[in-house]
Structure 1
Amino acid sequence: MKKILAVTACPTGVAHTYMAAESLIKAAKEKNIALKVETRGAVGVENEFTEQEIAEAHAIIVAADTDVLEGRFLGKPVVKVAVAQAIKNPAGLLEQALAKQAASPDDYAKQVEQSKSDRSATRSGPYKHLMTGVSHMLPLVVAGGLLIALSFVFGIEAFKVKGTFAAALMQIGGSSAFALMVPVLAGFISFSIAEKPGLAPGLIGGMLASSIGAGFLGGILAGFLAGYTSLFLKKYIKLPRNLEGLKPILLIPLLASAFTGLMMIYIIGDPVKGIMDGLTAWLTGLGTTNAVLLGLLLGAMMAFDMGGPVNKAAYTFAVGLLASNVFGPMAAVMAAGMTPPLGLWLATVLAKNKFTKEEKDAGNAAAVLGISFITEGAIPFAASDPFRVIPSAMVGSAITGALSMAFGATLRAPHGGIFVLPIPNAVGHLALYTLAIVIGTVVTAAMLSFLKKPVEQRIQS
């Protein structure tokens, strides 16, 4: 029997990673295919492949939006797709993998070269590199944000008194975790582009962006600059074979770090700092109308692809602003991200005749994911009925985002759903913020209940 390996990974490592794995495993059981799935999620790598398993595999499915160490699969037939594709079409991916021609000893070298070419083409995707940086940055932002929020339990300014527990929490969360946010973002963008030689130049460029005041925009630019510089040096520096080992540990980090650093200090840093200062000033001085429009846009983006590139763009924008002490967009983004799965759950309760038993069960699961701020809980509904579910979710989330900004709600913790709401001072205007989520949830549910056909009509059609 042919053995298939699959690896799944998404930028946050929370929902898509495991939903894709479950879909592939279920489809493999139905088709009686030998499959092992490695997940690279927020808890780390699970079911990691051994070298022997890779050697024995007929083909590899890579369903990922971040780096998964694809160099391990050199010479093996690979089916590479976005992680969402494994959720939508797991059976099709398995069929593609089975149809791949296994590498024989005669054409092994050719397969290796093809794999290198594919990897090189993959490395040229800016979105993947950005999401690799974001996925490594998120644990720092979440841990730091929650620790900062916990320091507010003792009073909104209690951390200013030296030697107190609140000051210690702020030092850990703000002075340490948040200080690493931009360097890690830049470092792993660069790592995604140039692999290990790009890590040090990216970290250094990110640290400079942070110290200059260029913020997360400067970190993104530093990461791409360091990564592509390292990749260029890696490709064009030629040394005698016995000196090749100097390239990744000495020459590339030295030259790429110097070039990136000088560019950040003398050319890139000040203009980007000006942009960040202007953006921060504009956001903090938003009038009600502009705030509502921004919330409307961010809310719609969160529901458009429910964890995909557009959703992640809105989330990354809001998270990046936390380092600049701008907390309104983060509140709007989390509220709007909770609304789609909560609205779908409510729709299954209000319009029971329009949902099958399986959909009602999925609605209960979506509710749990929704209160945890995992928008991906709405994906099964969107995949089965996109033209009714996605517009309903976008309208509800847009209203929630707009109301959150209009109410002046703020959020200092970048994740956690309802579990961060009880933390004193973590959310500004808590009652109105909660109301915004409830209103968006009801709007989503009402619109979907109206648009959805009863189960009997769906079956007949």
Structure 2
Amino acid sequence: MKKIVAITSCSTGIAHTYMAAEALEVAAKELGYEIKVETQGSIGAENALTQEDIEQADTVLIAASTTVDKSRFKGKRLLEVDVNEAIQDGENLIERSLGASVYQKESDSEENKDDEKDSEEGKGTFSGIYSHLMTGVSYMIPFVVAGGLLTALAFAFGGIDAEGEIASSLSQLGDIAMALMWPALGGYVAFSIASRPGLVPGMVAGMLASSMDAGFLGSLAGGFLAGYTIVILRKLIRLPKNFSGLLPILILPLFSVLISGLIFIYVIGGPLIALNDGLTSWLNGLTGINSVLLGLILGGMMAIDLAGPIGKAAYFFGVASLTNLSQGEVSTVMAAVMVAGMVPPLAMALSSTIIGKERYTLEQREAGKSAWVLGFSFISEGAIPFAVADPIRVLPSVTVGAAVTGGLSMLFGSGIAVPHGGFFVFFIPGAVEGLLFYVLALAIGVAISGILVTVLKKPINKKSEAEEKKQMNKVG
């Protein structure tokens, strides 16, 4: 029997990570292979691969949208793909991995191995841009979520001005967490490119972006600048073996911070600040039909690839609008992004468990129950199982409803003070402005998408459903 080991990881470490793992496990079972999947999620590595697992494996399959350490797989067949490919076509990926090339990690020199073991040098040479971005974002999002929710709790205890000792303390903690998201973004983008030496210049660049009001774009650009500065310095600097210990603790930190920092301050910082200020002014100036149009576009983006690259771009846009707010203010853009992102899983839950049950398999109806929870939690990936099975009908349907919800949210002037939390932040006083209309916008979008997908889908063949139920009983 063939033995496969795999790793799954997505930018948030929540839904895609575990959906990909489950898809690979199901696919391996169908093929008659043995598989062990390590999930590198938001709480760290689970079901971790041991050295024995790796040695016994015929091949290694990595499905990730972030940078994964591959140093332990040297000498093994290895296939690396995006996490979404595992969700959509697990069987094909497993078969492809069995014929993959053998992974041979290269290092500049023997003395640099300790510093490079967490990153593949070749990936740091102007390729894998999306992977570096997603790695930075995966480390940034917990700071954004924690900071935003702490700020919302400060409103709950002390009103919109966070008055009182407890509210003031919560607000202070929230501000600190939110301030750290830019160093985290810059630092871990650089880390993805250049391993541990990238953290120092990347975090410094993120702090520079924060202090200079260059925002999201500044810390992102600073992270890439810092990471590639390390890559170039590694190629240029060669030391005698007796002095090689100075490279990671003195030379790389000093010169990478010096070079990337000065370039940021004197070359790219000014244009990025102007771009960030222009974006903020544009958002603040949106009214009437312009704001509704923006809501329609962002809403559609949140659903069209279910938290993929397009959805992530819309989410980052919302977060950027949130970070420029003063105490007590809310963001209508972030509100439109969040409520639209809740539509796809809730719409599929509505269709598969209530109004169109006869159009879904038993397995899909079970997934629909989970989709209720995922939707209310603002986890758009809850609709992925339905989209994978029937993308032609599902994706357009949920995109229409999400776009309508985003547009209505902007039309109603609803705003939110936090970047995540979904329906559960609705109960925190001061977290949402215009709550009743906000809920109305969500309900309308869910109803539109739910009805549309139900009308488009055809009823399931009863014979096929009976066979599926029989097969599930055997597995159970």
The interval holding the TM-score normalised by the smaller chain is over 0.9
1:302 aligns with 2:302: yes
Quote the Cα distance in structure 2 between the aligned partners of 1:100 and 1:88: 19
1:339 counterpart (326, 340, 343): 343
C-alpha displacement of 1:282:
1.4
C-alpha displacement of 1:93:
1.8
Quote the Cα distance in structure 1 between the aligned partners of 2:239 and 2:48: 35
Instruction: Report the more deviating stretch, 418-427 or 265-274.
Output: 265-274
1:378 aligns with 2:379: no
Tell me what 2:474 maps to: none
Contact 2:123 2:193 in 1 (8 A): no
Quote the Cα distance in structure 2 between the aligned partners of 1:319 and 1:359: 33
Q: Deviations over 1:233-277 (max 9, x none)?
A: 112211122322322222111111011111222222222112211
Q: Give ranges in structure 2 of 5+ residues lacking alignment.
A: 108-115, 465-476
Tell me what 2:357 maps to: 352
1:167 aligns with 2:168: yes
Contact 2:299 2:407 in 1 (8 A): yes
Q: Give ranges in structure 1 of 5+ residues lacking alignment.
A: 104-109
Question: CA RMSD for the aligned pairs?
Answer: 2.1
Quote the Cα distance in structure 2 between the aligned partners of 1:186 and 1:219: 5
C-alpha displacement of 1:120:
4.6
1:424 aligns with 2:436: no
Tell me what 1:106 maps to: none
Identity of aligned residues (%): 51
Contact 2:71 2:105 in 1 (8 A): no
Secondary structure (helix, strand or coil) at the match of 1:11 reads coil
Tell me what 1:33 maps to: 33
Quote the Cα distance in structure 1 between the aligned partners of 2:355 and 2:382: 18
How does 1:87-98 map onto structure 2 within 5 Å?
87-98=87-98
Secondary structure (helix, strand or coil) at the match of 1:132 reads helix
Q: Deviations over 1:301-338 (max 9, x none)?
A: 11111021111111122123221116222111111111
Quote the Cα distance in structure 2 between the aligned partners of 1:255 and 1:112: 26
Q: Deviations over 1:418-454 (max 9, x none)?
A: 1111000101111111111100000101111221122
Quote the Cα distance in structure 1 between the aligned partners of 2:229 and 2:106: 23
Tell me what 2:19 maps to: 19
Tell me what 1:445 maps to: 450
Secondary structure (helix, strand or coil) at the match of 1:36 reads strand
Quote the Cα distance in structure 2 between the aligned partners of 1:210 and 1:68: 28
Contact 2:283 2:321 in 1 (8 A): no
C-alpha displacement of 1:23:
1.2
1:393 counterpart (384, 389, 398): 398
Tell me what 1:131 maps to: 134
Across the two proteins, how many residue pairs are aligned to each other?
448
Q: Deviations over 1:125-179 (max 9, x none)?
A: 2111111111000111101100000000134344355xx11110010011x1011
C-alpha displacement of 1:100:
4.1
Contact 1:134 1:316 in 2 (8 A): no
Quote the Cα distance in structure 2 between the aligned partners of 1:150 and 1:66: 31
C-alpha displacement of 1:74:
2.5
Quickly say closer, same or farther: Cα 1:129–1:254, change in 2 above 3 A: same
Tell me what 1:107 maps to: none
C-alpha displacement of 1:90:
1.3
Instruction: Report the more deviating stretch, 312-321 or 423-432.
Output: 312-321
Tell me what 1:153 maps to: 156
C-alpha displacement of 1:121:
5.0
Residue type matched to 1:344 in 2? M
C-alpha displacement of 1:64:
0.2
Quickly say closer, same or farther: Cα 1:330–1:171, change in 2 above 3 A: same
State the TM-score, normalized to the length of structure 2: 0.90
Contact 2:393 2:457 in 1 (8 A): yes
C-alpha displacement of 1:31:
2.8
Contact 1:186 1:222 in 2 (8 A): yes
Secondary structure (helix, strand or coil) at the match of 2:92 reads helix
Quote the Cα distance in structure 2 between the aligned partners of 1:451 and 1:29: 32
Q: Deviations over 1:368-416 (max 9, x none)?
A: 2111111111111111111111100110000011111111111122111
Secondary structure (helix, strand or coil) at the match of 2:427 reads coil
Contact 1:77 1:111 in 2 (8 A): no
Residue type matched to 2:170 in 1? L
Quote the Cα distance in structure 2 between the aligned partners of 1:309 and 1:235: 32
Quote the Cα distance in structure 1 between the aligned partners of 2:313 and 2:383: 18
Quote the Cα distance in structure 2 between the aligned partners of 1:121 and 1:446: 49
Tell me what 1:76 maps to: 76
Contact 1:76 1:112 in 2 (8 A): no
1:436 counterpart (429, 438, 441): 441
Quote the Cα distance in structure 2 between the aligned partners of 1:458 and 1:308: 35
Instruction: Report the more deviating stretch, 57-66 or 356-365.
Output: 356-365
1:186 aligns with 2:189: no
Q: Deviations over 1:193-252 (max 9, x none)?
A: 111111100000110110011111110110011011111111221112232232222211
Contact 2:21 2:37 in 1 (8 A): yes
Quote the Cα distance in structure 2 between the aligned partners of 1:257 and 1:274: 23
C-alpha displacement of 1:458:
12
